Structure 1
Amino acid sequence: MKVYLSVDMEGVTGLVDAEDVQPRGRDYERGRVLMTEDANAAVRGAYDAGATAVLVNDAHGPMRNLLPDLLDPRATLIKGRPKPMGMIEGLTREYDAALCIGYHARAGVLGVLSHSFMGHEIEDIWLDDQVTGEIGLFHATAHAYGVPVALLTGDDTACAEMTAWDPSVATVPVKYAKDRFAAQLVPVPEAQAAIRTTTHQALANLPALTADRARTRRLAVRWQNASVTAHLTAIPGVLRQDDRTVTVEADMPHLYRLFNLFLRVATAVTTNPPYC
């Protein structure tokens, strides 16, 4: 059994603030350790369930947060950026399951460090007219490959968002949102034990999926900055819906890769830091 992990940081055990998850933040280095240990808990759970290979993708910000020397040596790590598929780099139909570790809720929802990919630059994302964020796009792309999403860890708001997308996905709430930068924390040993145990259980009960990579989906993205929209419409197939919204149609893996191109264009056009 081959297992894929996408590891974000905002939903990691114990982390609640930009200072915990951004390079040069006063608690970022401690946050990297906690992120790596949450990933390790999932890796150990995967091997407990009989995994033969585990690939871990560092999916947060600069994508060089996980500490290779502290990561379970049985796992292979993808680190750094740019990566054509960003948060799902390395995921293919060869994998038997995908796990979302340390994920957070979408923009506009009251969850810990909630946003969609770019802090406040993205106001909303819709997939086939359903509002979504990083969780929904990950789930849709994995399913297009025929890979079931087995587990998500994060705050209770992120867990609820995944359950709304697919109630069959196991979730582990490692904290309970009090506001966007405050949470009631599950004790670290308890949270990481739950990640390991739930990973094991989830991988023992995987649903059978059929890949549907050719299905055409419609993606719409509303930006804060109209300049981003103006630049994105230079990409063939990208249409301007209004001053701040673009739409595009394609199969899901193509949409995800194209969306990562959107992010690079938007980063070049804007200079605003996230979480403003």
Structure 2
Amino acid sequence: MEGITGLVDADDVQPGGRDYERGRSMMAEDVNAAVRGALAAGAHEILVNDAHGPMRNLRPDDLHPRARLVRGKPKQMIMLEGLTGEYDAMVCIGYHARAGAPGVLSHSFMGHEIEDIWLDGRPVGEIGLAHATAAALGVPVVALTGDDAACAEMTEWDPSVAAVPVKYAHDRFAAELRPAGEARTAIEAAVAAALVPAPPRPAPSVAEATLTVRWQSTTVPTTLLGLPGVTAENGRTIRATGQLPSLYRQFGVWMRVAASLTGQAPYC
């Protein structure tokens, strides 16, 4: 939701925020633009996964009638819930840059609780980790929308992905906004173009990967060391090795443990 057209502040994207209800409507409009683009390209089945915060941001009545919705939590596969190798492509709507990047509402999964993430030694955020996991399933990521920082992060990870900036970051809570109608026209066109011709599929992978996470404090990593396969690099940094998407699912368990131990607001 942080990368949705027009949204720049926690009050836009968190339940109870003064502009959250408006943010939900803006989110639905961006998603529906992507759905229209997919339908124009000939898609016959579209699954939307609401993966922001409470994962109940999209009101079903606001969603395009041709799309199915996965709503609510917990979800074992977080942002990739419902994705299987049977799907031809994945589209990422409303994404944001990783923790420490100069992007709108930038963070990695848990506000400031997670300071840094690496996948096989490469700095990664929600964008790269979702892309790598989808690729391991044999599903290509074909388009992404967000601010210019998120788009740059996606392009650095995979330049073949169509990246659509809907705003241009001035700071973490400020941006120059692309007009809403223009942004949604661009989303629809980019998704349609990315799906025709059919995008090439990556070969499903069973290779092992190493996920490393540095936390804000020692409380979470110390607790997670009780899980099989989790080892410590130092007092705040842990790692685990395994196959994607299983490693991604394990990371979801780490976050649920962290959420039970901490009560910090995500955009401090």
| Aligned residue number for residue 28 of structure 2 | 36
Among 126, 135, 149, which residue is 2:127 paired with? 135
**Alpha-carbon shift at residue 52 of structure 1 (Å):** 0.5
One-letter code aligned to 1:269: L
Distance in 1 between the 2:163 and 2:74 partners? 29
2:222 paired with 1:230: yes
Among 157, 160, 181, which residue is 2:152 paired with? 160
With normalisation by structure 1, the TM-score equals: 0.96
Q: Match of 1:102, SS?
A: strand
**Alpha-carbon shift at residue 207 of structure 1 (Å):** 3.6
Distance in 1 between the 2:202 and 2:151 partners? 25
Cα contact 2:88–2:201 (8 A) shared by 1: no
2:121 paired with 1:111: no
| Aligned residue number for residue 115 of structure 2 | 123
Structure 1 unpaired stretches of 5+? 1-8
**Alpha-carbon shift at residue 29 of structure 1 (Å):** 0.1
| Aligned residue number for residue 93 of structure 2 | 101
Cα contact 1:150–1:206 (8 A) shared by 2: no
Distance in 2 between the 1:237 and 1:191 partners? 44
Distance in 1 between the 2:198 and 2:105 partners? 30
Among 148, 164, 175, which residue is 2:140 paired with? 148
Q: Match of 1:154, SS?
A: strand
The Cα offsets for residues 257-276 of structure 1, whole Å up to 9 and x where unpaired, read as 00000000000111111111
Distance in 1 between the 2:202 and 2:167 partners? 34
Distance in 2 between the 1:209 and 1:197 partners? 21
Distance in 2 between the 1:42 and 1:210 partners? 22
Cα contact 1:150–1:203 (8 A) shared by 2: yes
Cα contact 2:146–2:166 (8 A) shared by 1: yes
**Alpha-carbon shift at residue 206 of structure 1 (Å):** 4.2
| Aligned residue number for residue 78 of structure 1 | 70
2:249 paired with 1:257: yes
One-letter code aligned to 2:155: T
Identical residues among aligned pairs (%): 63
| Aligned residue number for residue 17 of structure 1 | 9
**Alpha-carbon shift at residue 149 of structure 1 (Å):** 0.3
Structure 2 unpaired stretches of 5+? none
Distance in 2 between the 1:145 and 1:97 partners? 11
Distance in 1 between the 2:240 and 2:46 partners? 33
One-letter code aligned to 1:144: A
**Alpha-carbon shift at residue 209 of structure 1 (Å):** 2.5
Distance in 1 between the 2:140 and 2:63 partners? 24
Q: Match of 2:48, SS?
A: strand
Q: Match of 2:138, SS?
A: coil
The Cα offsets for residues 133-180 of structure 1, whole Å up to 9 and x where unpaired, read as 000000000100110100000000000000000000001000000000
| Aligned residue number for residue 212 of structure 1 | 204
Distance in 1 between the 2:55 and 2:62 partners? 16
Query: How many residues of Structure 1 are paired with residues of Structure 2 in the alignment?
Result: 268
**Alpha-carbon shift at residue 252 of structure 1 (Å):** 1.1
Task: Tell me the C-alpha RMSD between the 2 structures.
Answer: 0.7
Cα contact 1:213–1:253 (8 A) shared by 2: no
Among 43, 47, 57, which residue is 1:51 paired with? 43
Among 18, 38, 42, which residue is 1:26 paired with? 18
**Alpha-carbon shift at residue 208 of structure 1 (Å):** 2.0
Distance in 2 between the 1:109 and 1:151 partners? 21
**Alpha-carbon shift at residue 213 of structure 1 (Å):** 3.1
Cα contact 1:148–1:206 (8 A) shared by 2: no
| Aligned residue number for residue 197 of structure 1 | 189
Q: Match of 1:173, SS?
A: strand
Distance in 2 between the 1:88 and 1:148 partners? 13
**Alpha-carbon shift at residue 70 of structure 1 (Å):** 1.0
Q: Match of 2:203, SS?
A: coil
